Amino acid sequence: MAKLILVPTPIGNLEDITLRAIRILQEADLILAEDTRTSSHLLKHLGISKPMKSYHAHNEHRVLEEIIQEIEAGKNIALITDAGTPGISDPGFLIVRECIRHGVEVETLPGPTAFIPALVNSGLPSDRFCFEGFLPQKKGRQTRIRSLLNEDRTMVFYESPYRLVKTLGQFAEAFGEDRQACVSRELSKLFEENFHGTLKECHEHFSAKTVKGEIVIVVGGNPNLAKRKREREEQDDKEDILNDED
């Protein structure tokens, strides 16, 4: 049966693509791409020539029905984004939801995504975290930030280089200048940068330079709440052990 296959693509270094991903792209009847011009460079690098169609935030609703019909007609369709895993902070989830609604099989390959290496590299707790993606640019931005004041898990955000300094300043004001953070830029690329420090130090560092590339900001959770939560969990564990012994 034909299906939709989500294929992660490199976030920078072109070596970061799996053999399975290459095979799927070679076998696909059609490749949906966020930007066909950007994706054509990757496909050319891989020696793959396949029909392509644009699927992005500006045409997602218009082409959904057409894509579903093509899959139901027997075409295996691969969905790729400019970089990373489709469906993470892009319109990929809409087509997945529509496929599920129509009973069309969806297969998702594991692969590159920016927030995982940024989170692990940050040195902040990664056993529990929340992924916030891009904050609203205007309306609702401060509301979203305030809603995270009592978040005890590590927080992960995507941000544009043009708004990075502004965002770090807003975070420092809301979460406190001493809150630990890490800003990762150009992950897997030649000029990769991972800056560790307080929010104040991060703000000062990036205010003094021209910022380029894709950005991931990792911010530690509320330290007071996290400490109290650990203490409660440790107490619960002790009580469980005593109850088991009884």
Instruction: Please state which of the ranges 117-121, 196-200, 211-215 shows the lowest mean pLDDT.
Output: 211-215
State how far the Cα of 239 lies from the Cα of 233, in Å rounded to an integer: 10
CATH number assigned to the domain comprising residue 150 = 3.30.950.10
In a domain, 240, yes or no: no
Helix 92-101 to helix 60-72 angle (10° resolution) is 40
CATH number assigned to the domain comprising residue 80 = 3.40.1010.10
Do 80 and 119 belong to one domain?
no
DSSP annotation of 129: E
Q: How many domains does the chain have?
A: 2
Amino acid at 99: C
Domain of 151, in residue numbers: 115-226
In a domain, 235, yes or no: no
Which of these, 167, 25, 11, 146, lies nearest to 90 by C-alpha position? 11
In a domain, 59, yes or no: yes
Do 82 and 127 belong to one domain?
no
pLDDT tens by residue, 127-180: 999 999 999 988 899 999 999 999 999 999 999 999 999 999 999 999 999 999
Over residues 230-243, mean pLDDT: 60
Do 89 and 127 belong to one domain?
no
Do 83 and 99 belong to one domain?
yes
Count of H-run helices and E-run strands, the chain: 9, 10
Q: Among 108, 124, 146, where does a domain finish?
A: 108
Do 136 and 166 belong to one domain?
yes
Do 90 and 164 belong to one domain?
no
